């Protein structure tokens, strides 16, 4: 029997994987993918809660999160292209004109 806890654990694991990806990976595209993974992990939680609570609100939230995530990735890719045109690299370590 698959219970709410299973979904929550899976969602937490995916979210943690996303965080690890953002922190550890150096390729910009992979980082953007990891951000997407974090958002979608949250979506999983929302849907599981929505089913568990019998309320539709969580599912509606998911639709909005998907759209927002898409918009964010589109802007992220645009910026990545701009950075690549200027520097010829999308490795985060090489993008350091401004010190952190």
Partner 1 sequence: MIPVPEINLGGVLPALILGVAGLLATLLGLFVRKGAATVGAIIGFTAVLIALAANAPLRFMNTPAFSGMIVLDTFSWFFNLLILLSVGLTILISMKYLTDQGLDLYEYFAILLFSSVGMMFMVSGTHLLMIFVGLETLSIGVYVLTGVLPKSSKASEASLKYLLLGSFSSALFLYGAALLYGASGSLSLAGLAKYFQSGSVSTMGLIGMGLLLVGFSFKVAAVPFHMWTPDVYDGAPSPITGFMSVGVKAAAFAAFLRVFFECFGSAQVTWSHILWILAVLTMILGNLAALVQSNIKRMLAYSSIAHAGYILIGMVAGTAMGAAGILYYLLAYIFTNLGAFAVVTMVGRKGEANISIDDYRGLGKSHPALALAMSIFLFSLAGIPPTAGFIGKFTIFGAAIASGYIWLVIIGVLTSAASVFYYFRVVMKMYMEAPEVEPESLKFSPSMALALTLTVMVVLYIGIFPTTYLNLATESVKSLF
Partner 2 sequence: MIESYVPILVTFLVATFIGSAIIVLSTVLAKRNPTPIKLMPYECGMDPIGGARQRFSVRFFIIGMLFIVFDIELIFLFPWAKIFNQLIPFGFIEMLLFVLVLLVGLVYVWKKGALEWE
Q: Which does 14 bind (CB under 5 to 8 A by kind): partner 2, partner 1, none?
A: none
Is 76 one of the binding residues for partner 1 (CB under 8 A)?
yes
Whole-angstrom Cα Rg for the chain: 17
Closest to partner 2 by CB, 4 or 71: 71
Report how far residue 75's alpha carbon sits from residue 83's, in angstroms, rounded to the nearest whole number. Answer: 12
Evaluate whether 94 touches 84 at the Cβ level (below 8 Å).
Answer: no
- Residue 86 binds which entry of partner 1, partner 2, none, CB below 5-8 Å type-dependent: partner 1
Going by C-beta distance under 8 Å and a sequence separation of 6 or more, which residues neighbour residue 16? none
Q: Which does 31 bind (CB under 5 to 8 A by kind): partner 1, partner 2, none?
A: partner 1
């Amino acid at each position: 029997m698959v219970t709410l806890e299973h979904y929550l654990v899976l969602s937490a694991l995916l979210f943690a994987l996303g965080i690890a990806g953002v922190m550890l990976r150096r390729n910009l595209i992979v980082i953007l993918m990891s951000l997407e993974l974090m958002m979608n992990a949250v979506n999983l939680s929302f849907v599981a809660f929505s089913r568990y609570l019998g309320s539709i609100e969580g599912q509606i939230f998911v639709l909005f999160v998907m759209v927002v995530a898409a918009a964010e990735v589109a802007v992220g890719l645009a910026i990545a292209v701009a950075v690549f045109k200027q520097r010829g690299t999308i490795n985060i370590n090489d993008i350091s004109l401004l010190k952190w």
